A and B are shown apart, each in its own frame.
Chain A
């Protein structure tokens, strides 16, 4: 009986601590923020999976600088080309990573940069084609050392 009550207390305390930990977590992009950031770009248009290739190492040691390449399968002809590429994340303090606008002479729909990831999370790339269709790819990335968004300096 006594054992049971201490166990209950223990779980009660543990649950309380977990709740506290959750409420104390810093503001970060929730999947809802990710979804609304994507909606801001695509509007009500459907986003199809495919055509886009998002290259990020699946296991990242240092979230402060993560190489990323997005390429889109497209002939890049004047009437059928990629207009823009938008990259989003799930758990950084804000959901946008970058918007890249390709000119009509781009020739190849590919951009590379280095990004920051504050946590292990999903990264999403969306391409807008000249016919206003949207295509996407996403990658789950495991980050060992998070980018220093909360670090005291």
Chain B
């Protein structure tokens, strides 16, 4: 089953810029390959990724078939208070997964 790897620092100082690394296991079938029988393998990709901090969106991405399997995305954000990051991936065939990570800001 789908599983996520999230790397968020456990704690940071107020105002720090932190790096967040995310990986979601997914085949990211581009929809251009064929089976030996000639039929096209239907597209099955993650199309969207969102990261929210305490309910506010801090990063969002639209993904296309040109993103490699098991999408790995890293980005930055500034933290000013303790709280929880929530991550959400949505995709073809009703794919929807979430993950979360907490950070303590002092």
* List of A residues within 8 angstroms of B91 by Cβ: none
Give residues of chain B (27-83) contacting chain A, Cβ–Cβ below 8 Å: 30, 32-36, 41, 53, 56-69, 71-78, 80
Main secondary structure of the interface of A (DSSP, over half): loop
* List of A residues within 8 angstroms of B77 by Cβ: 103, 105-107
Q: Decide if B67 touches A98 in the complex (CB within 8 Å).
A: yes
> Known: A65-B69, A149-B30. Contact between A107 and B76, CB under 8 A?
yes
Main secondary structure of the interface of B (DSSP, over half): strand
**Does B101 lie at the interface of the complex (its beta carbon under 8 Å from any beta carbon of A)?**
no
A interface, how many residues as a size bin? 35 or more
> Known: A98-B63, A99-B62, A103-B58. Contact between A116 and B75, CB under 8 A?
no
* List of A residues within 8 angstroms of B34 by Cβ: 150, 152-153
* List of B residues within 8 angstroms of A152 by Cβ: 33-36
Q: Decide if B61 touches A108 in the complex (CB within 8 Å).
A: no
Q: Decide if B65 touches A100 in the complex (CB within 8 Å).
A: no
Q: Decide if B68 touches A103 in the complex (CB within 8 Å).
A: no
Q: Decide if B32 touches A149 in the complex (CB within 8 Å).
A: yes
**Residue of A96, A105, A115, A148 contacting most chain B CB atoms (<10 Å):** A105
**Does A94 lie at the interface of the complex (its beta carbon under 8 Å from any beta carbon of B)?**
yes
Q: Decide if A102 touches B67 in the complex (CB within 8 Å).
A: no
Q: Interface of B with A (CB < 8 Å)? A: 17, 30, 32-36, 41, 53, 56-69, 71-78, 80
Q: Interface of A with B (CB < 8 Å)? A: 26, 64-66, 89, 92-94, 96-103, 105-117, 147-153
